[in-house]
Amino acid sequence: MHARDRFVLLLLILASTRVSGQAIPGDSARVASPTITHRLRTIYGSMYLGRLVDVGVPIDSVRFETEGGAIMLPKAAVRDIIAVAPREIHDGEYWFPNPNSTRLFFAPTGRMLPRRTSYYSNTYLWINGVYTGVTDNFSIGGSMTLLPWTGAQVGYVTPKLGVYSSENLNVGVGGLLGYNGFGTNRERSFGILYSVATIGSADLSATGGIGWGYQGSGLSKQPAIMVGGAARISRGVALVTENYYVRTIASNSALLGYGFRFFGEKLSVDLAFFNAASAPVFPGIPFVSFSKNF
């Protein structure tokens, strides 16, 4: 072999070595810590954070980049893939959306249930309710008691209309239209007509509302004022407060509510206390409720 031929052969060997050592797109050597834009869950319960690279290449496959490298899964093994906002990542941990941001303990917030989203709620074990988003700007639901020792029950429906919505401000109007099976004919209808506004994110917000109560055909002349808020302190725990001020001709009174909300992606549990500001008792009247989203 001539010297020139040996030199060409050496160049080809060096070139092939450089090409074989380069990372191909999606190779784990190329991405040490990808930008987190998606969350992927498999039908087997595994969850991955990273970036969706491709769907259907190869056929019926999903290519996904994670911090540990690229993975490829058959589409049949993928339960869901959802977009993840930067604000949902805290120190590398994914904080799922708050599943119960449309209410405090009892009072509604200015946020609306998304269309085709529903939840079931149970308070004190004997107050049961179902609520659903008919559209992104209108929801309706209702609750009723299921007291086993009597045929008389209390129930109400709660239509709500969203009138303004932005990233950090939501405003709604609605009502609680109730029926009291224990009262006389004149006392059986009751409720409240209200407007409410919430400022802030789903993880840190303040809510204020004003409402006029009624019983029978009489509407109160003085409104009740509600001030509350919620602050998420960890992935699955939030502090919640809900407070009322009611002014009447005879007196003024305030009711204070404070406690915790524990939640996962679909289920939330409220453990709280309510107290009269004028005559508080420690720690307060217990409030227990849970809800399950669908």
Q: Which two tokens stand for residue 116?
A: 């085709």
Give me the residues paired with residue 53 across strands.
none
pLDDT band at 60 (very low <50, low <70, confident <90, very high): confident
Quickly state the pLDDT bin for 34 (edges 50, 70, 90).
low
Q: Looking at residue 224, what is its pLDDT?
A: 95
Between CA 112 and CA 156 the distance in angstroms is: 19
Structure-block tokens of residue 131: 């609520």
- The token duo for 21 is 């050592």
Domain edges within the chain: 21-94, 118-293
Q: Is residue 190 over pLDDT 50? A: yes
Look at residue 4 and tell me whether its pLDDT is greater than 80. Answer: no
Does residue 267 contact residue 293 with C-beta atoms inside 8 Å?
yes
Domain 21-94 in this protein, CATH class: mainly beta
Looking at residue 11, its pLDDT comes to: 36
Q: Whole-angstrom Cα distance, residue 104 to residue 205?
A: 11
Half-sphere exposure of 166 (CA within 13 A, CB side): 5
Which region among 16-20, 37-41, 89-93, 98-102 has the lowest average model confidence (pLDDT)? 16-20
> For the whole model, what pTM was predicted?
0.77
How many other CB atoms are found less than 10 A from the CB of residue 154? 17
- pLDDT at position 6 is 45
Residue 242 pLDDT greater than 90, yes or no:
yes
**Can you tell me the distance from the alpha carbon of 209 to that of 107, in angstroms, rounded to the nearest whole number?**
9
pLDDT tens column, 247-258: 876 678 899 999
Q: Are 66 and 50 in contact (CB under 8 A)?
A: yes
pLDDT-based confidence at residue 150 (cuts at 50, 70, 90)? confident
Which of 2.60.120.260, 2.160.20.80, 3.30.565.10, 2.40.160.40 would CATH assign to domain 118-293? 2.40.160.40
